[in-house]
Structure formats: structure tokens, C-alpha cells
């Protein structure tokens, strides 16, 4: 069965000026997908998104936040860009409509997977979403595409348990906050140590509250951490928890900004490292939920590298060889020791809820 690719040229109409979160991210990605002849292959299928309705956005976001985003976008029509926060989250005259299409693209990807049209899907959407919470757009994100998708799956599609892995450079704080007190959503984020990176959240002790205690997991990676560190944390902590949770579907917030060359990054992931990371979760999905996976684009600002990482992941989802392989960036002995201790710390926090 084919792997779905959700894309629409309208995503390029979210114009951001000189901002790093630019249309060129998707231009480069689609150019590479086409040059690899992926859209002519039976292994991949292009899926059209649809706009989210305002009622669907309201499953997560407050009405006044939605109206503020709409008003700011209208203000920017035919004039200079506007901002939804202190200067990170840019909107133009088309941004509100594009943000609706981004959230709707996530739901279209899931619909295609759940219907059996495709085995898994990657939604190449923008603007990204995982920093937005119920009341505030931030961190380049207007609406939280992932959170809207989760509520859609639980409330509209009849799923009971959803698992999310967020592998952006930055902690998926908006998504984490929105589901922090719930056990129908298992959330895991690996990200650069919040003492050294935006948004300053995502410590090992942040494990959820109330019914959600033990269902929120964070692996803050030290600067310089590479692919080997990710595999250590995955095998010792994440794989056992995800397999015990047995989700109905696995979702991913994918950010390519943990790559060693990204202008925002202090981590050392490689393009094939991302592929191997997703491959591990694919094996869990194959075991627990019939391989059902949906990935949403978040960050990643070295556009050539972002494109190569996405193409690698798409090939992994299709069971094919990754075409882009770089020299390994091995973590030093001290970094490996640090993350071995981090894995033990995570296990200690989570032992009351999971077996290791």
C-alpha cells in the first residue's frame, strides 16, 4: 500500500518575509520529491488537504484567539506583515486561510490512513503548530495542527488511545500542555535541553498530572547529541512505554531543525538519523496498530537538508532504502554517559506507571 503525501501549493501563500519559516522549505521539499520521481511511483500517493472548519479549530483553541488570528491576517492584507506574539509568529493576508488548510491537511492525512487508502502519511503543511496552546499562537505556530488532529481522532473518528512523538529541536510545549492531564494521549518529546533552547520547557520531571501522570515524557538532549543518543533513549525508555500503551495510531511532529547544520540547532542529528528514528516508531506501529502513522511537518530551516530528511523518512515509511546518507556525527564519551544517566532518570520518573 502507498504512503500518502499531503501537499497543496496554497501552503506557499503563508508569506513570512525574511523569516526562517519560509515557503522555500516546502518548495525545496517538493522539488526533491519530484526529482526523485516519487509521485510517479506506486509507493507514494499525493493527497489533497481540505480546510479545517472553525468548529474543528475550536476543539482546541479559544474563540477569541481564533478571531485575533483572523483579524491580524486581515490587517496584513495588502500591507506589511503582522505578528501574533512578540515577533516570532508572522502573518500575511493569506495566513489565516493557510493555517486552516494546515490543520485540515493533518486531518486529511489521518482520514486517508484510517480508510485504508494509504498505509501511513506525511502532511507537508505550514505554518507549523506544536508551540500553540489553547489561547496563544507562538513560536511560528498559529494553530496547533497536532492537537486539533488528536481531538478529531478521539472525538470524531472513535479512536480511544493516541500516541505522539515530537522530534523537533524544540520542546512541543503547546501539545504537551494541552494533553498534560489526560491518559488517552501519550506524548513524548525529544528536544535540545530547555536550559539552552526555546521554549524553556520539557524537563524529565514533567510527566503529566492527575489522570495524565506518566503519560507525558520528555528527553532533553544535551548540545552535541547525535543519532546514537537518540537510539539509546529510544531503546531504553520510549519503545517499552509505547509498546505497553498500545495506541490506536502513532502520530509524529517532525522537525528537521535538530540536524547538525540547521541554523537554530545545537544538536547533531543526520538525515539518515531521522530516518532511523522514525523507523523505530514504525516498527512499534506495525506491532500495535496495523502500521497506522501520520507525520506532520513542524520545524527545519536548512531547506536542502530538510528536504533530504523528509525524503529519507518517506522511503522508510514505504519500506525502501534511504537515498541520502551522511557521515555519522558520533557523540563523545561524556555525552553518551550523560544521556545514559538521563535514560535512568527518565525510567525512575516513569517506573510507577510503566515496566522497564
* Residues contacting residue 18 through CB under 8 Å, at least 6 positions apart: none
Tell me what pLDDT residue 86 has.
Answer: 76
pLDDT by residue (tens digit) across 48-105? 999 999 999 999 999 999 999 999 999 998 778 999 987 799 999 999 999 999 999 9
- Mode of pairing for the β-strands spanning 120-123 and 162-166: unpaired
Strands (E) in the chain, as ranges, are: 3-6, 44-47, 82-83, 90-91, 120-123, 162-166, 185-192, 216-221, 249-254, 293-297
ω into residue 127 within 30 of 0, thus cis? Answer: yes
Number of domains composing the chain: 1
Report if pTM > 0.75: yes
Residue 233, Cβ neighbours under 10 Å: how many?
21
* Structural domain contains residue 142: yes
The alpha carbon torsion through 265, 271, 276, 282 (nearest 10 deg) reads 90
Closest CA to 300 of 101, 32, 4: 32
Cα–Cα distance, 181 to 14 (Å, whole number)? 33
Tell me what pLDDT residue 151 has.
Answer: 98
Tell me what pLDDT residue 90 has.
Answer: 95
- Is 176 in contact with 189 (CB distance < 8 Å)? yes
* Structural domain contains residue 355: no
Residue linked to cell 503529566: 208
Say which of 14, 61, 130, 131 is annotated catalytic: 131
Q: What is the CATH number of the domain that holds 11?
A: 3.40.800.20
Cα–Cα distance, 292 to 88 (Å, whole number)? 33
Cα–Cα distance, 321 to 312 (Å, whole number)? 8
Q: Which domain holds residue 100?
A: 3-350
* Structural domain contains residue 145: yes
Beta bridge partners of 221: 192
Q: Is 23 exposed, middle or buried (0-12, 13-18, 19+ CB in 10 A)?
A: middle
**DSSP code of 237?**
I
* Structural domain contains residue 129: yes
- Is 118 in contact with 1 (CB distance < 8 Å)? yes
Tell me what pLDDT residue 164 has.
Answer: 98
Question: SS in 3 state form for 68-94?
Answer: HHHHHHHHCCCCCCEECCCCCCEECCC
Residue linked to cell 478521539: 154
Tell me what pLDDT residue 328 has.
Answer: 82
Tell me, yes or no, if 131 is annotated catalytic.
Answer: yes
* Structural domain contains residue 261: yes
Beta bridge partners of 294: 121, 251
Tell me what pLDDT residue 225 has.
Answer: 95
Cα–Cα distance, 75 to 3 (Å, whole number)? 39
Tell me what pLDDT residue 80 has.
Answer: 83
* Structural domain contains residue 41: yes
Cα–Cα distance, 131 to 178 (Å, whole number)? 10
* Regions of the chain with pLDDT less than 70: none
- Is 129 in contact with 145 (CB distance < 8 Å)? yes
Closest CA to 2 of 37, 41, 51: 41
Q: Is 111 left (phi over 0), alpha (psi -120 to 50) or beta?
A: alpha
* Structural domain contains residue 356: no
Cα–Cα distance, 193 to 185 (Å, whole number)? 23
* Structural domain contains residue 240: yes
Amino acid at each position: 500500500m502507498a504512503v500518502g503525501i499531503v501537499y497543496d501549493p496554497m501552503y506557499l501563500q503563508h508569506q513570512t518575509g525574511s523569516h526562517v519559516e519560509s515557503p522555500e522549505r516546502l518548495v525545496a521539499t517538493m522539488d526533491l520529491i519530484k526529482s526523485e520521481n516519487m509521485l510517479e511511483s506506486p509507493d507514494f500517493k499525493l493527497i489533497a488537504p481540505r480546510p479545517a472548519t472553525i468548529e474543528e479549530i475550536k476543539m482546541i483553541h479559544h474563540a477569541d484567539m481564533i478571531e485575533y488570528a483572523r483579524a491580524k491576517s486581515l490587517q496584513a492584507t495588502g500591507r506589511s506583515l503582522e505578528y501574533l506574539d512578540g515577533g516570532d509568529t508572522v502573518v500575511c493576508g493569506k495566513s489565516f486561510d493557510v493555517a486552516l488548510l494546515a490543520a485540515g491537511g493533518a486531518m486529511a492525512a489521518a482520514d486517508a490512513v484510517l480508510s485504508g487508502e494509504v498505509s501511513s502519511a506525511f502532511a507537508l503543511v505550514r505554518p507549523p503548530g506544536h508551540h500553540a496552546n489553547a489561547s496563544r499562537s507562538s513560536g511560528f505556530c498559529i494553530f496547533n495542527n497536532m492537537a486539533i488532529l488528536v481531538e478529531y481522532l478521539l472525538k470524531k473518528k472513535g479512536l480511544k488511545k493516541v500516541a505522539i512523538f515530537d522530534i523537533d529541536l524544540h520542546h512541543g510545549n503547546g501539545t504537551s500542555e494541552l494533553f498534560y492531564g489526560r491518559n488517552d494521549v501519550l506524548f513524548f518529546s525529544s528536544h535540545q535541553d530547555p536550559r539552552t533552547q526555546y521554549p524553556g520547557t520539557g524537563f524529565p520531571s514533567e510527566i503529566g498530572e492527575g489522570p495524565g501522570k506518566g503519560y507525558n515524557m520528555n528527553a532533553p538532549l544535551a548540545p552535541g547529541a547525535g543519532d546514537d543518543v537518540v537510539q539509546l533513549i529510544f531503546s531504553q525508555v520510549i519503545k517499552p512505554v509505547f509498546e505497553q500503551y498500545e495506541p490506536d495510531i502513532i502520530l509524529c511532529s517532525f522537525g528537521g531543525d535538530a540536524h547538525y547544520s540547521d541554523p537554530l540547532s545545537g544538536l547533531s542529528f543526520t538525515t539518515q538519523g531521522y530516518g532511523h528514528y522514525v523507523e523505530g516508531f514504525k516498527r512499534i506501529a506495525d506491532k500495535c496498530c496495523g502500521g497506522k502513522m501520520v507525520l506532520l511537518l513542524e520545524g527545519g530551516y536548512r531547506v536542502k537538508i530538510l528536504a533530504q530528511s523528509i525524503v529519507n523518512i518517506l522511503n522508510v515509511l514505504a519500506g525502501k532504502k534511504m537515498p541520502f546518507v551522511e557521515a555519522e556525527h558520533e557523540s563523545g564519551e561524556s555525552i553518551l554517559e550523560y544521556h545514559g544517566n538521563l535514560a535512568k532518570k527518565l525510567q525512575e520518573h516513569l517506573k510507577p506507571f510503566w515496566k522497564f
